[in-house]
Amino acid sequence: MLSNIARRIRRKRFTPKEVIEGYDNDELSETIFRKTIAYHPTGEWPLVAGVDTVIEFGGGCGLHYKLAAQQTPTIRWAVVETTPMVLRALELATDNLKFFTDIAAAADWLGQVELVHANGAIQYTPAPLDTVRQLCAVRPPTMIWYRVPITTGSMKQEVRSSFLSHHGRGHCLRRVKKS
């Protein structure tokens, strides 16, 4: 608990040197890439038990795939992300994990899609309703959407601020200088 208090005080006293706007950012992609490599999941994920094909919308560098593959090593996983994230994540691609900027291309690679998973990403797209329509067009038997603000009223746009270190699991890793 003391370390959380110290972290909060440090963030208030030492404000960020720069602001990153949006998710099309190389530094954000690099941070998530490094945190994904360092992440070693444990446990099971009942959501993907018995599932063979998944589209994850906003899946970063495949962090959720790492947990799912421990449970089902043959699971095929298509992450749909921003262009900078896909370009950085390509290094992590395997026969069972691929990265795409387009929902239809991800669905074509998988063939029959059993699950579409999105966790807090849809609302950050330029056209969230169009994104929902594209995900629904895949017609999987199961769709799981976490942290998606939905309203029957009028929509309002808000700006969300977060620290770079808050993206991806684990601690922010320092960049290693290349010689």
Number of domains in the chain: 1
65 lies in some domain: yes
CATH number, domain with residue 33: 3.40.50.150
Which residue ranges in the chain fall short of pLDDT 70? 1-2, 7-8, 10-23, 148-152, 155-179
174 lies in some domain: no
95 lies in some domain: yes
User: What pLDDT score does 145 carry?
Assistant: 86
41 lies in some domain: yes
67 lies in some domain: yes
Rounded to a whole number of angstroms, the distance between the first and last alpha carbons of the chain is: 38
What is the pLDDT of the chain when averaged over all its residues?
82
Q: Which domain holds residue 85?
A: 25-149+161-166
Residue type, 59: G
17 lies in some domain: no
User: What pLDDT score does 166 carry?
Assistant: 43
Q: Could you tell me the CA-to-CA distances from 135 to 17, 45, 104 in Å, in that order?
A: 37, 22, 9
User: What pLDDT score does 163 carry?
Assistant: 41
69 lies in some domain: yes
